[in-house]
Amino acid sequence: MRREYDFRGARRGALDPAHRGKTRITIRLDDDVLEWFRGQVDAAGGGNYQTLINAALREHMNRSDEPLEEVLRRVLREELDRSG
């Protein structure tokens, strides 16, 4: 290291302060899952794949209280729409 670098007054810490209501974590995802989310963002013309993952998790949370009958009806409607 060069002698002209003086780190005596330096402080360590995150460059981006955490936003209120957000927590920084480390998570391990399967490569194909991560690539799918990144591909979705690229196809949409940009954005943040982490925001997309957060939205998908939130949607799952909101649907977890959905009764099984409603889930089955929704899935059947989606499949019928796809088949024409």
pLDDT of residue 9: 85
Lowest mean pLDDT of 7-16, 36-45, 67-76, name the range: 7-16
Residue of 3 and 51 predicted with greater confidence: 51
pLDDT, tens digit, for every residue of 16-55?
A: 777 788 888 899 999 999 999 999 999 999 899 999 999 9
Cα 57–Cα 71–Cα 75 angle in degrees, nearest 5: 95
- Residue boundaries of the structural domains of the chain: 31-83
Asked if residues 72 and 66 have their Cβ atoms less than 8 Å apart, the reply is no
Report residue 5 CA to chain centroid gap.
38
Report pTM: 0.58
